[in-house]
Chains A and B, each alone.
Chain A
Amino acid sequence: MKDEVESRDDRVANLKGLGSARKRVEDVRFTQGKGNYVDDIKLPGMLHGDFVRSPYAHARVKSINIDAAMALDGVVAVLTAKDLEPLSLHWMPTLAGDKQMVLADGKVLFQGQEVAFVVARDRYVAADAVELVEVDYEELPVLTDPFEAMKSDTVLREDLEDGADGAHGPRRHHNHIFLWEEGDKAATEEVIDSAEVVVEEMVYYHRTHPCPLETCGAVASMDKVNGKLTLYGTFQAPHVVRTVASLLSGIEEHNIRVVSPDIGGGFGNKVGVYPGYVCSIVASIVTGLPVKWVEDRMENLMATAFARDYWMQGKISATKEGKITGLHCHVTADHGAFDACADPTKYPAGFFHICTGSYDIPVAYVGVDGVYTNKAPGGVAYRCSFRVTEAAYFIERMIEVLAMELNMDAAELRRINFIRKEQFPYQSALGWEYDSGDYHTAWDKALTSVGYDDLRREQAERVEAFKRGETRKLMGIGLSFFTEIVGAGPVKNCDILGMGMFDSCEIRIHPTGSAIARLGTISQGQGHATTFAQILATETGIPADSITIEEGDTDTAPYGLGTYGSRSTPVAGAATALAGRKIRAKAQMIAAYLLEVHDDDVEFDVDRFVLKGAPERFKTMKEIAYAAYNQAIPGIEPGLEAVSYYDPPNMTYPFGAYVCVMDVDVDTGTTDIRQFYALDDCGTRINPMVIEGQVHGGLTEALAIAMGQEIAYDDLGNCKTGTLMDFFIPTAWETPNYVTDHTETPSPHHPIGAKGVGESPNVGGVPAFSNAVHDAFRAFGLRQAHMPHDHWRIWQIANDLGLHD
């Protein structure tokens, strides 16, 4: 037999298990154009929906006339709030405990808000009919600034009872949503008031958008014969959608099947529930035919969930030697017209209180005020775990500003404040327990790799040359050290709409020794079919190539909370490992029976169970699987299957050290990224090639956000960045070369020690790019300049500093 001539190393290699740079199995279909996305789904008799959207940011809707639209040949129905009201579907609950209009009920609160839903036989007819719907608006005063909104007499949300509490406690103004606080305010203020050195700065993380290349969409199909609703859609959490759809519609959950087919990027944009989904379902129920709704690019940027928009007022105190003593932060959070943030229920500002970062800060306080404005709702975690990017950007800017104040090297300031290796598990001042880390090792490796001291020397020479008039280019060294908090999360403190944030895996081993595993998560490009099979391969001894991974169909997959916040590997990955161990435990009993020895006398070895002390006597997993189905074994039921639901005991805390070296042209504001070094520690590394791909993608999104991408409004609430002409998506032209590196500090509580990595590069990347821009101007006194650092804004920085004189 082949097995007998194979070495142990060969057998390990054949598995393509943990640590293998296995090629992504998904790419076979994606690179051949054979993916199956929502818009590829075409059902017999399918109708098409399209929205009439508000051109105003704030207006009363006086009347809606649908006669001309209905008269157009091919138009089947036009739904307005009046039609949805009898079903109680004209409003819907948001993930954040607020409610949101499905279709305009009396007024509109942001530009692009859904006013009416046209259903037609053809997508083009639907678009034509949208133009024929006559809506009479009466303009109302527009509030686009959260600070103004908190002072204004204009009431945005007339549906909310004045003075009544919101979902997160008292509201102190009619445009206020919540105040959420963490930490010891009095103690923090006392420390800061008596500190040797204090710096204060307003750090703004601008509004942007996840902008997945595939926009949001759904196909709803109500089968009136058997009473079953099938809903295909771009859902990052299909099971949650099924439960919410059941609760909203009254259709029993077993009669709803939600399917997430291939998804062309999510980045948080596809976590929430949108009016398009609800209207497609209602339209399908009304017409008895399948209804498809797919938004266009402008609709995606203008109306579905935005990210960030945090005004972070910070104070940080330190000794003269640079030891940080306290951190105070007050955030004014612009949530738009409805509070539709996607955060675990108990955390209206997500995990923002990870903002003490990688530093041992003895006392800290955070307060976050959520505010309504006339902007689109959302506030999702754009390639990050619930407001962790905002937190990381805040602390990494505050560190740089403090370094300036102390006249210290920013790398050294970080080093003397890092949480030390022996302090883990580390209890942060704001309530988190960091699982593991070795920051000093990672930092030293990063600085050595980039030749940090030489870079600083070169930078100082450049400044002198600039002052002598020999060059017009400055050089910035952007440092960033971040700690993430991912893998939400423990059911004891993490839920969404009451649903605990566990995850799941169900495995069936087939008689011939191959397998299928189904999970409660859903890949949007992360490569789950590749990496989860690798976890299982190592755990069960079945080669990854013989394991099918299936996700996204709620009729077949076990219940799970979906994929966002880098939770798939920490939570579903753990469930996968534990389900694999259940398989192995049963396989051990079968192997012992076949070898006619006691269970304890055999041990697992790569792809087989061997007799202890006599490895020439063994049973392979293939043989065991066959026996499991086909041999009567006393006391053991037939079959080889396992299910695991995993409730994580804690989050995981990946970390990393990034360095960006950039030349900045003072006269044109253009930048040239010469070098970008990214060291990531995500614990146990499942597939180094997939990790590298995730880091490259995340860094490129970080580049976009830091250097140009934004959702901007004018004073009238017009969204000025609704097309890809105005909203920056980097191409190969703008994207620099990245050097990736790693250290490996396993999570002590995760079954395989993995921590999650997909979002780290966005969290750490944004401060690295932004700090490089700031650092280029540090010698000329720049303390804080708001992102995005596009050419115009960089030119403006130089101009404000008098460098054009």
Chain B
Amino acid sequence: MELSDEITINAPMEDVYAALNDPEILRQCIPGCEELVQTSDTQLEAKVVLKVGPVKARFSGEVALDKSGAPTRFSLTGQGNGGAAGHAKGGADVTLETLGDQTVLRYDAKAQIGGKLAQLGNRLIQGTAKKLAAKFFANFAKVMQQQAA
């Protein structure tokens, strides 16, 4: 499954980049995120409640960040396990570009989903993933807006 989109954020690029690396901001923005703990400079542990169609499960997983492309490129990979509900892994490449005093954020994400989640939610996954991604960036834009205010 592949997702890509772009969103314009009302903040300078440096602020956007910093926020993308701030566990507290990410926790607020990730839909269903209960816990997000930074374990090293590039490692995070997350607990997320996810609902796809009839399957609802608590996923625990690890996220690794790659900041080597700072401040315009940023990528992350992760995998999570929801026990009997299934499992997921994936990654996203994010690029940032300055547009006046705004920042354009583009992302290309890939995800693989397995287990019951993939079976029961088969026809719903693409839609759900799009919705979750949109929600994340909407939250993110809102938080940035609040910070700027």
Q: Which residues of A contact B (CB under 8 A)?
A: 52, 55-57, 111, 130-131, 134, 298, 302, 714, 716, 718-720, 722-723, 725-726
Number of interface residues of B (CB under 8 A): 14
Given contacts A130-B84, A131-B84, contact A55 B116 (CB under 8 A): yes
6 pairs from A and B in contact (CB 8 Å cutoff): A55-B86, A55-B116, A716-B114, A720-B119, A725-B123, A726-B123
B54 to chain A, nearest CB (A): 9
Main secondary structure on chain B at its contact with chain A? mixed
Inter-chain residue pair count (beta carbon < 8 A): 43
Contact indicator B114/A56 (Cβ below 8 Å): yes
Chain B residue numbers with a CB within 8 Å of A55 are 84, 86-87, 114-116
* B4 located at the interface, meaning its Cβ lies under 8 Å from any Cβ of chain A in the complex: no
Chain B residue numbers with a CB within 8 Å of A131 are 83-84
* A130, A134, A726: the one within 8 Å of B122 (CB): A726
Contact indicator A56/B115 (Cβ below 8 Å): yes
Chain A residue numbers with a CB within 8 Å of B83 are 131, 134
Chain A residue numbers with a CB within 8 Å of B116 are 55, 298
Q: Report the nearest A residue to B54, measured CB to CB.
A: A723
B 103-123 binary contact with A (CB < 8 Å = 1; else 0): 000000000111110111011
B121 to chain A, nearest CB (A): 10
Contact indicator B120/A722 (Cβ below 8 Å): yes
Contacts A302-B119, A718-B122 known; 7 new A-B pairs at CB < 8 A: A111-B115, A131-B84, A298-B116, A719-B119, A723-B119, A723-B120, A726-B122
CA distance A761 to B96 in the complex (A): 62
B116 to chain A, nearest CB (A): 7
When A and B form their complex, which 7 residue pairs have the shortest distance between CB atoms, in order from nearest? A55-B115, A718-B118, A722-B119, A131-B84, A720-B122, A55-B86, A716-B114
Chain A residue numbers with a CB within 8 Å of B119 are 111, 298, 302, 718-720, 722-723
Within 8 A of A (CB), among B73-119: 83-84, 86-87, 112-116, 118-119
CA distance A131 to B115 in the complex (A): 13
Main secondary structure on chain A at its contact with chain B? loop
B24 to chain A, nearest CB (A): 30
Contact indicator A716/B112 (Cβ below 8 Å): yes
A50 to chain B, nearest CB (A): 11
Q: Report the nearest A residue to B82, measured CB to CB.
A: A55
Q: Report the nearest B residue to A719, measured CB to CB.
A: B119
Contact indicator B118/A714 (Cβ below 8 Å): yes
Q: By CB atoms of chain B within 10 A, which of A130, A298, A716 has the most?
A: A716
Chain B residue numbers with a CB within 8 Å of A56 are 87, 114-115
Q: Which residues of B contact A (CB under 8 A)?
A: 83-84, 86-87, 112-116, 118-120, 122-123
CA distance A282 to B14 in the complex (A): 64
CA distance A52 to B116 in the complex (A): 12
Chain A residue numbers with a CB within 8 Å of B112 are 716
Contact indicator A716/B84 (Cβ below 8 Å): no
Q: Report the nearest B residue to A716, measured CB to CB.
A: B114
CA distance A96 to B86 in the complex (A): 32
CA distance A302 to B118 in the complex (A): 13
B149 to chain A, nearest CB (A): 44
Q: Report the nearest B residue to A52, measured CB to CB.
A: B84
Contact indicator B123/A718 (Cβ below 8 Å): no
Given contacts A55-B87, A131-B83, A131-B84, contact A716 B118 (CB under 8 A): yes
A19 to chain B, nearest CB (A): 49
CA distance A57 to B86 in the complex (A): 12
A111 to chain B, nearest CB (A): 8
Contact indicator A718/B114 (Cβ below 8 Å): yes
Q: Report the nearest A residue to B113, measured CB to CB.
A: A718
Q: Report the nearest B residue to A112, measured CB to CB.
A: B119
Q: By CB atoms of chain B within 10 A, which of A55, A131, A718, A723 has the most?
A: A55
Chain B residue numbers with a CB within 8 Å of A714 are 118
A108 to chain B, nearest CB (A): 12
Chain B residue numbers with a CB within 8 Å of A716 are 112, 114, 118
B82 to chain A, nearest CB (A): 9
Q: Report the nearest B residue to A722, measured CB to CB.
A: B119
Chain B residue numbers with a CB within 8 Å of A722 are 119-120
CA distance A375 to B37 in the complex (A): 38
Contact indicator A718/B120 (Cβ below 8 Å): no
CA distance A723 to B122 in the complex (A): 10
CA distance A130 to B115 in the complex (A): 14
Chain A residue numbers with a CB within 8 Å of B122 are 718, 720, 726
Chain B residue numbers with a CB within 8 Å of A57 are 114
Q: Report the nearest A residue to B118, measured CB to CB.
A: A718
Q: Report the nearest A residue to B86, measured CB to CB.
A: A55
Q: Report the nearest B residue to A714, measured CB to CB.
A: B118
B123 to chain A, nearest CB (A): 7
Chain A residue numbers with a CB within 8 Å of B115 are 55-56, 111, 718
CA distance A719 to B119 in the complex (A): 6
B79 to chain A, nearest CB (A): 10
B68 to chain A, nearest CB (A): 27
CA distance A235 to B115 in the complex (A): 29
Chain A residue numbers with a CB within 8 Å of B84 are 52, 55, 130-131
CA distance A134 to B60 in the complex (A): 13
Chain B residue numbers with a CB within 8 Å of A719 are 119
Q: Report the nearest A residue to B53, measured CB to CB.
A: A725
Q: By CB atoms of chain A within 10 A, which of B84, B87, B118, B119 has the most?
A: B119
Chain A residue numbers with a CB within 8 Å of B114 are 55-57, 111, 716, 718
Chain B residue numbers with a CB within 8 Å of A298 are 116, 119-120
CA distance A582 to B11 in the complex (A): 97
CA distance A130 to B85 in the complex (A): 11
Chain B residue numbers with a CB within 8 Å of A134 are 83
Q: By CB atoms of chain B within 10 A, which of A56, A111, A718 has the most?
A: A718
Q: Report the nearest B residue to A56, measured CB to CB.
A: B114
Chain B residue numbers with a CB within 8 Å of A302 are 119
CA distance A55 to B115 in the complex (A): 4
Q: Report the nearest A residue to B112, measured CB to CB.
A: A716
CA distance A56 to B84 in the complex (A): 11
